[in-house]
Structure 1
Amino acid sequence: MTIDQIVRQRYTSKAYDGSRKLTQEQQQQLLDVLRFAPSSVNSQPWHFYAITSDEAKQQIIPAVSEPNAAKIHNAALVVVFATRTAIDDAHLNAILEKEQQDGRFINSDAREGMDKGRRYFVGLNSTSAEKQREWMARQAYIALGFLLLSAATMGLDATPIEGFTASKMDDVLGLAEKGQTSVVVATVGYRSDADFNAKLPKSRLDQNEVITLL
């Protein structure tokens, strides 16, 4: 199946078959998708909470709006996307050291240039704490997009969920003490026969209304 066919066929699932689980291989592929998602200047300001157990699902359901509770309960995988509450020197240094270990620098000048450039762009988006949080949230949404499309290529259904209370989710997962905050949630699994959205035709504005070729 081509990517064009996939994007035309995928949709946001409204109901999941709770009896169908992911294989270990499927789960690991999705975790790899999250870990290897791109971020501005490789800032990786995120942490992903991958939830598969019924106990963990029940723990977060009180933070989710009622229409989404059943999706959380029945999905094979639930991902809570969190970002750091602030990007600090320790995080930037950890990224730099990992890049060094992975062989990204041909010499010390390359290492210094990467560090300097990254700190510059982080600074551009950190003129206020709110602006930095918004910038980090945008990075998390890049990872969300990767997850949604990757799930579709694997024959899985997925749902992005903004219908939750971040403060409650943060409390349930103990994110404040970890220096993190929740941004968005996604569910992945197999749709059930009760998924009405699967029976509806996809609807999007015409290309000339949303795309301008220059």
Structure 2
Amino acid sequence: MNIIKRLEWRYATKKFDNSKTLSKSKIEILKQAFNLTATSFGLQTIKLVVVTDDILKASLVEHSYGQKQVLEASHLCVICIQENIIDNDVNNYFHNIKTIRDTPETILEPYRNNLIKTMQEMSIDERLQWSKNQSYIALGNLMTVCAIEGIDSCPMEGFVPEKYDELLKLRERGLKSVLLLPVGYRADDDMFADFEKVRKPLSETIIEL
């Protein structure tokens, strides 16, 4: 498969075919891809909420500036970040390392203590921004996987996070919504599907030293 051809194929889908639904296997690929996304320190302070309920999706349209992709898409992926990062998050992470890799505690301890110190020295706003940076990595990864798998998607920042947090009950889980990615299959009459992709030439975006 030519990855460049797949990336040329993808575009920010403006109209989805709401009669087509992604298979469970396709959604499983996206969930696995999200979980395998690189994050700083590997701490994974981001989560993915996958919304399939049409009534719930419909209620979110008005809080998405009327963008109907939220409803028409097969699934709505909401990328979230933790409201805070506490010592226990770091301890759980290193517990997983020890369990999976059988790494001796003597090796892990200084790294764990250093990461706890790093997080403690950040303000809550700095931790939120740090986590938000990770969410963009996940979004890009999901978009690339969608292109490879022939799944249409539309990255979105245009929504009201506070309303999403309320309707999806994210606060009860200690989460904040930051990005949206409706996924599914493009409608035959989405005129944007046939538009030529507009990009600068490589000579203007790549610097080789």
Could you give the per-residue CA deviations for residues 65-104 of structure 1, whole angstroms, max 9, x where no partner exists?
11x1x2111111111111011111121122222222222x
**After TM superposition, where is structure 1 displaced by more than 4 Å over at least 4 residues in a row?**
none
Which of 83, 105, 109 does residue 106 from structure 2 map onto?
Answer: 109
What's the CA shift for 1:6?
A: 1.6
Structure 2, unaligned stretches of length 5 or more?
A: none
Counterpart in the other structure of 1:193: 188
Distance 1:178 1:21 in 2: 28
Query: In the alignment, does 2:49 pair up with 1:46?
Result: no
- Aligned residues: CA RMSD: 1.6
Sort the Cα spacing of 1:123 and 1:6 in 2 relative to 1 into closer, same or farther, 3 A.
Answer: farther
Counterparts of residues 168-179 of structure 1 (less than 5 Å):
168-179=163-174
Query: In the alignment, does 2:108 pair up with 1:83?
Result: no
**Aligned-partner residue type, residue 111 of structure 1:** L
What's the CA shift for 1:123?
A: 5.1
SS in 2 for 1:150: helix
SS in 1 for 2:179: strand
Which of 137, 140, 144 does residue 132 from structure 2 map onto?
Answer: 137
Distance 2:183 2:111 in 1: 36
Distance 2:126 2:156 in 1: 23
What's the CA shift for 1:63?
A: 2.1
Sort the Cα spacing of 1:112 and 1:201 in 2 relative to 1 into closer, same or farther, 3 A.
Answer: same
Distance 1:154 1:110 in 2: 40
Distance 1:190 1:175 in 2: 27
Counterpart in the other structure of 1:8: 8
The normalised TM-score by structure 1 is 0.91
Distance 1:148 1:117 in 2: 33
Overall identity of the aligned pairs, in %: 27
What's the CA shift for 1:42?
A: 0.7
SS in 1 for 2:155: strand
Does the CA contact (< 8 Å) of 1:41 and 1:121 recur in 2? no
Corresponding pairs, count: 209
**Aligned-partner residue type, residue 44 of structure 2:** Q
Does the CA contact (< 8 Å) of 2:98 and 2:105 recur in 1? no
Sort the Cα spacing of 1:109 and 1:212 in 2 relative to 1 into closer, same or farther, 3 A.
Answer: same
